[in-house]
Amino acid sequence: MSRWRYFFRRLLLSIPVVLFGLTITFVIVRMGPIDPVAAIIGPEGGAANRARIEQRLGLNEPLWRQYIDFIVGMLTLNLGQSWVIQPSTSVGELLTTYAPRTLWLGFWSVLIAIFVGVPLGFYAGLNPNTGGDYLASFGGIVWRAMPNFWLAIIFLAVLRQSEKFFFGIDWNTIGVNVPGLIGQPPLNFIAVTDWVSLGALSIPIGFYFSPITLAASIKQILPPAVVLGSAAMGNEMRIGRTAVLETINSNYVETAKAKGLRNRAIVWKHVFRNALVPLVPIITNEAFILIGGSVIVEVIFGINGIGYLFYQASIQGDLPLVGSLMFVFIILIVSVNIIQDFLYTILDPRVGYE
């Protein structure tokens, strides 16, 4: 089928995109004003010291050789070692420590945005110009208008004194206990305890799972996730409303009505699928913002995620870490793009023709 061919062509096209992204990253990181040697030896280091460190880091080699080493290293997933933040720790190791926190935060903020924003938008679109619609639309605009950094601080302030605002309900102790508002969510609620080897393949057979830790983890991540997803939620609500309104007034919905279809069937079969088409790029675009926007939220809520790590690495001149994180971000964004195309090919049969 032709639309699958279209999808595979998109998949192939992402390879030059990754290469181009890596090149730009290299140019900015290596040719920019960042001086990692100064960051390592400090203000008192002498010229000899400096040359020695440059030699050790390979910074004295010709630029084209450094470029090839960088690209080959990235593409073979040899991400190198941190120079400044945690010297001699491999970037892979840092990623396995920091990334899950960000992913956990991103996952929940995307989920909240989709499962609150889209249904609210669809509800408003199906009941246009009613009280419910006005409430949802107004809420969406207000929610959209509140900036992350402000909302995060207000959340902290209100939840910290929750017994004052919510009739004596203490946020820290309601449901499961969490140590405090600020800090890492505990991610050790699931672990593999036992492996079995089938030839070269290792298959996990033993699991450890703690529902209480999971609940605590969700509770811990919820306030930052709501803050991070707030803008996305408002956007999705508004676009969802418009998309449903546009679809419900289209001729094929009229045709479906004239066929004698039930309202529920019209909405679920004919309206929703078409209304999702304009929502797909909105949702996937927001996934990008969640990567970038998480830095502020991570700092305010004291979550040491990759947003925080990337920020530290770039101001301290930890070149391999910055380059590797950029590589991870590029891969993430390209994958999200591919997922978007994949969703398009599923939702809309016309993709690939226009």
Partner 1 sequence: MAMESNPTADAQSTATSTLDTTATAASNATTIAGGRNDPIITVRNLQTSFFTDKEVIRAVDGVDFDIRPGETVGVVGESGSGKSVTARSIMGLVDSPGHILEGSSIRFQHVPTLRSFATTFAGRTVSLDELEAEHDPTSLFDHPEIDATPSTFGYDDREEATLEDFVGAYGDTLEFIGADDCVFVRGGSTDDPESITDGFVELTRCTGEIQRKMRGGRIAMVFQDPLTSLNPVYTVGNQLEETLRLHQDLSGQAATEEAIELLEAVGIPDARRRVTEYPHQFSGGMRQRAVIAMALACDPEVLICDEPTTALDVTIQAQILDLLKELQHERDLGILFITHDMGVIAEVTDRVNVMYAGEIVETAGVHSLFDDPKHPYTQGLLESIPGRQQGERLQTIEGNVPTPNEPATYCRFAPRCPKAFGDCEAVHPETVPVGDGHPEDEQAAHTAACLLYVDEYTAAAHPSGRTPDQGTGEVKATGGSADAATETETETPRGDDR
Q: How far is the CB of 79 from partner 1 (least distance, A)?
A: 42
Give the nearer residue to partner 1 in terms of CB position, either 8 or 353. Answer: 353
Q: How far is the CB of 268 from partner 1 (least distance, A)?
A: 12
Give the nearer residue to partner 1 in terms of CB position, either 14 or 250. Answer: 250
Task: State whether the Cα torsion 100-104-109-111 is positive or negative.
Answer: positive
DSSP characters for 96-154?
Answer: HHHHHHHHHHHHHHHHHIIIIIHHHHHHHHHSTTSHHHHHHHHHHHHHHHS-HHHHHHH
Give the nearer residue to partner 1 in terms of CB position, either 62 or 260. Answer: 260
State the Cα–Cα distance between residues 131 and 138, nearest whole angstrom.
10
Question: The tokens of 60 are what?
Answer: 């004295």
Taking alpha carbons only, the member of 166, 123, 68, 97 closest to residue 321 is 97
Q: How far is the CB of 266 from partner 1 (least distance, A)?
A: 10
State the Cα–Cα distance between residues 90 and 94, nearest whole angstrom.
7
CB atoms within 10 A of CB 107: 14
Which helix (DSSP H) or strand (DSSP E) does residue 193 occupy?
A: strand 190-198
Task: State whether the Cα torsion 39-304-171-286 is positive or negative.
Answer: positive
Give the nearer residue to partner 1 in terms of CB position, either 35 or 254. Answer: 254
Give the nearer residue to partner 1 in terms of CB position, either 208 or 268. Answer: 268
Q: Is there a contact between 319 and 53 (Cβ–Cβ < 8 Å)?
A: no
Q: How far is the CB of 3 from partner 1 (least distance, A)?
A: 10
CB atoms within 10 A of CB 16: 9
Question: The tokens of 282 are what?
Answer: 């909105």
Q: How far is the CB of 348 from partner 1 (least distance, A)?
A: 6
Q: How far is the CB of 124 from partner 1 (least distance, A)?
A: 17
Give the nearer residue to partner 1 in terms of CB position, either 77 or 258. Answer: 258
Give the nearer residue to partner 1 in terms of CB position, either 168 or 260. Answer: 260
Residues at the contact surface with partner 1, assessed by CB under 8 A:
250-252, 254-262, 269-270, 273-274, 277, 347-350, 353
Q: How far is the CB of 232 from partner 1 (least distance, A)?
A: 25
Collapsed DSSP state (helix, strand, coil) of residue 346: helix
Q: Is there a contact between 110 and 286 (Cβ–Cβ < 8 Å)?
A: yes
Give the nearer residue to partner 1 in terms of CB position, either 43 or 260. Answer: 260
How far is the first Cα of the chain from the last one, in angstroms, to the nearest whole number? 15
Q: How far is the CB of 314 from partner 1 (least distance, A)?
A: 44
